[in-house]
Chains A and B, each alone.
Chain A
Amino acid sequence: MHLFLMIGLVAFSILAVLNRDLLKSAICLAVASVFLALIFFQMNAVYAGVFEVSVVAGLITVLFITAIALTRGDQPVVESKRHLFIFPLFFLILIVLDILVMKKLLGRIPAIAGSETGTFGEVLWNQRTFDLVGQIGVIFAGVLGVLALFRQGDTPHKGSTPQEGTHE
């Protein structure tokens, strides 16, 4: 079951990359997110799974579809057909490297003493307080960035002359 979910995740991610229609790519990405969330649920990572489904599969997909709808109808970007030949080769090399390197690489990582105590809320609020402050800052920065990018009405009109006295 776990392997099936993993294969589904990678397959839909590849479809999202190789699909020529942007709308289909965005939907493939959302399906990949659902697969990832199911993997998280299977690993008992319930909170990460809920975030993955609601934020990544939901919100980000809506943002992508909105952006695609707003930019559709203009000159389409033609991607090269070489990807259909190059990507399988690249992916095959990646799998071979993965098999050869990953086990040795992970074997070098020392085992850290685990076994956490407490609840998720305690870990999030007590241990990662600084992360939370950073997250709030990032959210506000994102909101202000989007507002600044869509700001209208303060662009100078064409042919307007500079105000008197500014060059004196």
Chain B
Amino acid sequence: MNNLWILNMGFAALLIGTGIYCLLTMKNVVKLLIGLEIIAKGVTLALVASGYARNNLLLAQSLAITVIVVDVAVIATALAIIININRHTKSLDVGKLTRLKG
């Protein structure tokens, strides 16, 4: 266990915490996606930093690339959903998405 790994994992935890804060408190749906993206950044950093520290960098990179690809697909689909939501509600506020409320 080296100090660089602890530093990297600490900053990854900060990124994930910032993303979770964004997801919990923001009202704009685009901001929520930005929060999701920040969490993905933290996870990618943690993967590559762990691979670097444990001398498994090639495997860590392949996992990081998998995370990035999944992230792109999620963001593209979510942005398409957001554009459709905006066409119907004329707003990006998550508070106004109450059509399915029971």
Q: Residues of A with Cβ closer than 8 Å to B?
A: 2-3, 6, 9-10, 13-14, 16-17, 22, 25-26, 29, 32-33, 36, 39-40, 43-45, 47-48, 51-52, 55-56, 59-60, 63-64, 66-68, 70-71, 74-75, 77, 79-80, 83, 86-87, 90-91, 94-95, 98-99, 102-103, 106-107, 109, 111-112, 114-116, 118-120, 123-124, 127-128, 131, 134-135, 138-139, 141-142, 145-146, 149-150
Q: CB distance A45 to B7 under 8 Å?
A: no
Count of interface residues, chain B, beta-carbon cutoff 8 Å: 69
A11 to chain B, nearest CB (A): 10
Q: Is the interface of A mostly helix, strand, loop or mixed?
A: helix
Q: CB distance B30 to A67 under 8 Å?
A: yes
CB contact under 8 A between A139 and B69, given known A98-B13, A149-B80, A149-B84? yes
Neighbouring A residues of B90 by C-beta, 8 Å: 74-75
Neighbouring B residues of A52 by C-beta, 8 Å: 44, 68
Q: Is the interface of B mostly helix, strand, loop or mixed?
A: helix
Q: How far is the CA of A107 from the CA of B98 in the complex (A)?
A: 46
Q: How far is the CA of A55 from the CA of B41 in the complex (A)?
A: 12
Q: CB distance B45 to A39 under 8 Å?
A: yes
Chain B residue, CB-CB nearest to A137 = B73
Write 19 A-B pairs (CB below 8 A) sorted by A numbering: A10-B14, A17-B35, A29-B34, A44-B52, A45-B52, A56-B37, A56-B71, A64-B75, A70-B83, A71-B86, A74-B90, A75-B91, A106-B5, A116-B59, A123-B58, A128-B59, A135-B69, A139-B73, A146-B77
CB contact under 8 A between A106 and B34, given known A45-B57, A120-B58, A138-B69? no
Neighbouring A residues of B38 by C-beta, 8 Å: 13, 16-17, 29, 32
Q: CB distance B18 to A142 under 8 Å?
A: no
Q: A17-B22, A124-B65 are in contact. List 8 more A-B contacts (CB 8 A).
A: A9-B11, A17-B19, A43-B52, A56-B72, A63-B75, A77-B27, A135-B70, A142-B77
Q: CB distance A45 to B61 under 8 Å?
A: yes
Chain A residue, CB-CB nearest to B95 = A77
Neighbouring B residues of A75 by C-beta, 8 Å: 90-91, 93
Q: CB distance B18 to A10 under 8 Å?
A: yes
Q: CB distance A51 to B51 under 8 Å?
A: no
CB contact under 8 A between A142 and B55, given known A16-B38, A131-B62, A149-B84? no
Closest 5 A/B residue pairs (Cβ): A114-B55, A142-B73, A149-B80, A123-B58, A67-B79
